[in-house]
Structure 1
Amino acid sequence: MGSESDEREVILGVDGGTTSTVCVCMPLLPFSEFPDPLPVLGRSVAGCSNFNSVGEDVARETLEKVMAEALLDAGVKRSAVKAVCLGLSGVNHPTDQEKILGWLSGYGIAAQALIAVMRAHDGRGPQTMLSSCILQSLGLSSPDELIGWTYADPSWARIAALVPVVVSCAEDGDQIADEILHNAVQELAISVKAVVQRLRLAGEDGKGSFPVVMVGGVLGANNKWNIGNEVTNSILKTYPGACVIRPKVEPAVGAALLALNFLMKETVANGHS
């Protein structure tokens, strides 16, 4: 890379979750000088960085890897980094997260798909396209091998990685996969509604306006099956005043901007221009 890239000061933003971890490298500029669209010098994607799922050591390795690769993609050295913001999933107590995990994540969707495959194999449930597609995705020859595959490494991220297979099967008309996604949508919508009721966000008549920010890998759009849109429609049926917000930039970019904001405040507080 040229000397200009080597000398450029940058900021890093990280969006770390159970399914994947994304890091972006952006130039260090005053907010007023940022062009539209926002410039991303480098971007990298790695696996799970939720320490409740993979453990602290693996999570740390993932974070170090994704940041190093983003810098490599941008062509800048580690010494050029002036601020970093990490947005990481995880709660203080792993058991608390396990209680709410269920249908509310990619893990929940994929786990139900695996159960459906085993039920079909045992004759306890209907046949499903999920069986052949999941086996092909994992390089296995029989549903019996799924038990060993699951217990070999039951991490959330590894299982959640099967969500695209479930969505693909649903888009191709598989009824079981479609039911799994519909159930996931309803459970997520019910959870949102419970929060709205608990905090009284919609007012006494339930028609008040409140924001709903749609962020998360599972909520992303697909060719036909758009989980995010389905969740939105379900919420709006109950709360027509809900204001659905889809971020204009990905969460990792938002994290980088938070890093920049903190750096600017520190600079002002220290009396520098």
Structure 2
Amino acid sequence: MSSKGFYLGVDGGGTKTTCVIVDTSRKTVGRGVAQGSNKNSVGNEVAQRELMASVELAVTDAGISFDEVSSACFALSGCDRPDDVSLVTSWMKKALPTHVHVWVYNDALGALASGTQGVLENAAVLISGTGTIALGVDSNGQQIRAAGWGPLLGDCGSGFDVAQKALTASAAAHDGRGHPTALLPAILEHLSLERPEDLIGWVYGTPGWAHIASLAPIVFECAARRDAVSEQILTDAANALARSVSAVASRLRVAAGSTQKPPTPSAARLSLDAATSKVAISEEHLDRQKERESVPQSSPAEMPFTLVLAGGLLGEGSSLEQVVRRELAHECPGANVVHAEVEPAVGAALIALNKYNALSDDM
């Protein structure tokens, strides 16, 4: 099988869609960005349009033709079931030249690959952005996941979850049903709204979930000012995220007797929003974590695995990330926690490259 030399990766989320093209040396040569492509949020027609828009922009940026693309990997939010995969695969096979090999996965696989150089085994990823998911892949390629059910079914620990709880707490504070919080005036100021009642039109007047999740940084800002309600929201988010990883780790089985070590990529130098990186989590919570860590733990059932942290709420060095790490040290001591070395779209492109090379080896 002869190589055309270029590999396409797409990271499609609820807010934006990014396509990256890499060459055989794994160097990024093209990039394109379009609007959100989660079909559950924007619908099939818009999702298909934005996916192709990002691809066309990346191909143009790379200065190549579609005929030079060997394979493509689409890592997409909202693409969870076999029917979803089949549908998107059919879209892309019709849109791309027939020689291009197409793989479609949930966007969690792209994020995982961004921390493992495209390797999809003995590893897991925890994402917290607009949504959240924990997903692991064992040495046999079997996927195990937890969370990622979407806003109406939980998504605890996601940007939407954090922001929705902030809105709920703000409404309760205004009514006198909840504790006073700095969240209400901060949200009103951010949205340029005059009255708390104006939140109703803002919340329900825009379709989708991204506009709700966009308020999550305000919770970090208020927590940094020691607002108790905001601190509790973020503490609950950290606990929920750690439980998702624990649920995956409990089912993640590495081949018996395997001596293969998980990949240990260096941590990325991620640029973080200042508010996110300075969250103040309650000292009482940290004290409880220290007490738990002082208790001797039994050996974990699973062998060590790499855990990639990804998403805007788990930036390297943030206090939320630190609390998640503390929880994981207790619940999943086998986890080797790292951050992404590259963006998820590049991770998807590396999956496409690795998959294509595997096909070539089988020929």
Q: TM-score range by the shorter chain?
A: 0.7 to 0.9
CA gap of 1:185–1:215, structure 2 versus 1, over 3 A, is same
Matching residue of 2:52:
64
Q: What's 1:102 paired with?
A: 155
Q: Match of 1:16?
A: 12
Check the 8 A contact 1:105/1:218 in 2, yes or no: no
Cα shift at 1:124: 2.0
SS of the residue 2:19 aligns to: strand
- Which of 180, 195, 220 is the aligned partner of 2:314? 220
Task: Call closer, same or farther: CA 1:137–1:80 in 2, change over 3 Å.
Answer: farther
| Secondary structure at the counterpart of residue 126 of structure 1 | coil
Once residues 243 and 7 of structure 2 are traced to their aligned partners in structure 1, the CA distance between those partners, rounded to angstroms, is 38
Deviations 1:163-211 (A, max 9, x none): 223223323433322221111110111222233335578x994435332
Gaps of 5+ in 2: 85-147, 257-296
**Deviation at residue 25 of structure 1 after TM alignment:** 2.3
**Residue 116 of structure 1 aligns to a residue in which SS?**
helix
Determine which structure has the larger helix proportion and give its number.
Answer: 1
Pick closer, same or farther for the CA change 1:191–1:257 going to 2, 3 Å: closer
Relative distance call for 1:141 and 1:218 in structure 2 (3 A) is: same
- 1:85 corresponds to 2:179: no
Aligned equivalent of 1:234: 327
- For residues 78 and 199 of structure 1, do their structure 2 counterparts lie closer, same or farther at Cα, with a shift above 3 Å needed? closer
CA distance in structure 2 between the partners assigned to 1:154 and 1:112 by the alignment: 18
CA–CA separation in structure 1 for the residues paired with 2:42 and 2:185: 28
Task: Label 1:145 to 1:46 Cα distance change in 2 as closer, same or farther (>3 A).
Answer: farther
Select the residue among 205, 210, 223 that pairs with 2:304. 210
Normalised to the residue count of structure 1, the TM-score between the two structures is: 0.76
**What is aligned with 1:137?**
190
CA change 1:256–1:135 in 2 (3 A) is same
Q: Which amino acid aligns with 1:56?
A: N
RMSD value, Cα: 3.2
What is the number of equivalent residue pairs in this alignment?
252
Please say if residues 12 and 23 of structure 1, whose CA atoms lie closer than 8 Å, have aligned partners that are also in contact: yes
Corresponding position of 1:3: none
Higher strand share: 2
Identity of aligned residues (%): 39
Give the superposition deviation at 1:234.
0.6
CA distance in 2, matches of 1:126, 1:132: 14
1:58 to 1:163, Cα distance in 2 relative to 1, 3 A: farther
Partner-residue secondary structure (3-state), 2:73: strand
State the AA in 2 paired with 1:168: E
Name the CA distance, whole Å, in 2 between partners of 1:162 and 1:58. 24
Q: Aligned letter for 1:16?
A: G
Residue pairs, 1:101-120, within 5 angstroms: 101-120=154-173
Distance 2:62 2:195 in 1: 43
1:5 corresponds in structure 2 to none
Asked if the contact 2:249/2:332 (under 8 Å) is kept, the reply is: no
Taking the aligned partners of 1:114 and 1:259, their CA distance within structure 2 comes to 40
* CA distance 1:72–1:128, shift in 2 (3 Å): farther
